[in-house]
């Protein structure tokens, strides 16, 4: 049996509208988004600016990064992923249980790409900063890898090259298990108005439960969608573009898929199926950075941070609830 599940993850609206404290630092994310994640990242010049900024942000918290270059065979273009490894004590051995957090940093031509995918990159960077800071105070068992993919629009070339050239060989050589991969897509767009959320026609027949929930929720665009698979189904994936055609496919479907499973989930605000972006492709600019949207992004980033703390076997998991009050106590109200 092959199934892919879509879950709709509702965030509390009251939490968005009123005061809210998050572990994720909203001001740092605003800074990243307005500095280098709101300018087109399409040609090589533009992309190298973004890569340099990502590398600097990682370096600032002591994370060295490397550039993984690959050739996209059809176009003969060179692409570059940025990879940072936050090693655990068992790195490179069969006792490591690796977590991977990733986002796509390139954009379509001329797009500012604040939501798509500036926000995913901002979330991964912020999670990296928090997890690195925690390392100065708490112990951690497992390695965390942060990856920023290139060339989403060339048949997922970046994530595909990462899985085939880097990840699978590493897993094979070291016997390391990957216990989870998260692909962060746009995570910024929040629209709590009824009927602001569209869904493709086939959606309802494939995902009746999610469709029903959406219906009961008056089709408001105030949730994050999680895609995952209980088993492999290529047909379903092909059919459900744009819902399922994304970088998680590179982790679902790869050359060793018969023997190696890489648990992977994909998170998205559904991009241009929501709110104003349905009608206005050029609207993905600085204007997206409303207080409400930033809080939405910060909440999602917190979920990612908590997931990483838990899955990486950090001793901070015992005190995670206190982190809100004493570590990065910021209030964006």
Ligand X SMILES: *[C@@H]1O[C@H](CO)[C@@H](O)[C@H](O)[C@H]1NC(C)=O
Residues that bind ligand X (CB under 6 A): 40, 43, 45-46, 104, 106-108, 113, 116-117, 120, 152-153, 183, 185, 246-247
In angstroms, what is the minimal distance from the CB of 43 to ligand X?
4
* DSSP symbol at 167: I
In angstroms, what is the minimal distance from the CB of 89 to ligand X?
31
The SS3 of residue 191 is strand
Query: Closer to ligand X at the Cβ: 185 or 302?
Result: 185
Query: Closer to ligand X at the Cβ: 46 or 77?
Result: 46
In angstroms, what is the minimal distance from the CB of 59 to ligand X?
24
Query: Closer to ligand X at the Cβ: 117 or 143?
Result: 117
Query: Closer to ligand X at the Cβ: 116 or 222?
Result: 116
Query: Closer to ligand X at the Cβ: 97 or 152?
Result: 152
Query: Closer to ligand X at the Cβ: 153 or 256?
Result: 153
Task: Give the C-alpha distances (Å, rounded to integers) separating 58 from 26, 145, 187, 201.
Answer: 17, 12, 20, 41
Task: Give the C-alpha distances (Å, rounded to integers) separating 79 from 54, 152, 282.
Answer: 16, 10, 25
- Phi/psi for 15 (5° steps) reads -65, -30
Task: Give the C-alpha distances (Å, rounded to integers) separating 230 from 4, 184, 308.
Answer: 6, 19, 21
Distance CA 84, CA 166 (A): 12
Mutual angle of helices 44-59 and 120-135, in 10-degree steps: 20
In angstroms, what is the minimal distance from the CB of 110 to ligand X?
7
Distance CA 289, CA 189 (A): 9
| Strands ordered across the beta sheet of 144-149 | 4-10, 223-229, 264-268, 177-184, 97-104, 144-149, 77-86, 65-72
In angstroms, what is the minimal distance from the CB of 69 to ligand X?
17
Query: Closer to ligand X at the Cβ: 140 or 189?
Result: 189
Name 123's bridge partners. Answer: none
| Residues found in the chain | 333
In angstroms, what is the minimal distance from the CB of 106 to ligand X?
5
In angstroms, what is the minimal distance from the CB of 77 to ligand X?
12
Distance CA 115, CA 110 (A): 14
């Amino acid at each position: 049996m092959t199934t892919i599940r879509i879950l709709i993850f509702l965030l509390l609206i009251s939490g968005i509208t009123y005061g809210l404290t998050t572990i994720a630092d909203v001001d740092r994310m605003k800074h990243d988004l307005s500095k280098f994640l709101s300018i087109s990242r399409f040609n090589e010049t533009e992309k190298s600016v973004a890569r340099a900024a990502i590398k600097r942000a990682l370096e600032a918290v002591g994370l060295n990064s490397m550039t993984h270059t690959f050739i996209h065979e059809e176009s003969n273009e060179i692409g570059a992923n940025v990879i940072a490894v936050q090693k655990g004590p068992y790195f490179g051995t069969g006792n490591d249980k690796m977590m991977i957090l990733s986002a796509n940093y390139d954009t379509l031509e001329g797009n500012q790409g604040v939501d798509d995918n500036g926000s995913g990159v901002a979330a991964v960077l912020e999670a990296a900063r928090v997890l690195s800071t925690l390392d100065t105070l708490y112990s951690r068992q497992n390695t965390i890898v942060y990856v920023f993919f290139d060339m989403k629009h060339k048949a997922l070339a970046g994530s595909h090259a990462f899985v085939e050239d880097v990840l699978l060989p590493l897993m094979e050589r070291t016997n390391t298990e990957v216990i989870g991969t998260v692909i962060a897509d746009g995570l910024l767009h929040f629209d709590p108005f009824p009927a602001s959320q569209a869904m493709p026609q086939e959606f309802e027949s494939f995902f009746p439960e999610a469709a029903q929930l959406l219906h009961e929720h008056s089709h408001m665009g105030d949730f994050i969608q999680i895609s995952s698979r209980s088993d492999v189904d290529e047909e379903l994936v092909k059919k459900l573009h744009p819902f399922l055609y994304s970088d998680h496919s590179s982790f679902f479907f790869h050359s060793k898929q018969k023997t190696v499973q890489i648990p992977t989930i994909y998170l998205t605000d559904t991009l241009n199926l929501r709110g104003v972006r349905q009608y206005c492709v050029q609207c993905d600019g600085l204007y997206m950075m409303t207080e409400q949207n930033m809080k939405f992004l910060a909440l999602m980033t917190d979920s990612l941070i908590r997931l990483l703390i838990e899955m990486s076997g950090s001793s901070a998991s015992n005190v995670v609830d206190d982190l809100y009050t004493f570590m990065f106590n910021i209030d964006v109200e």
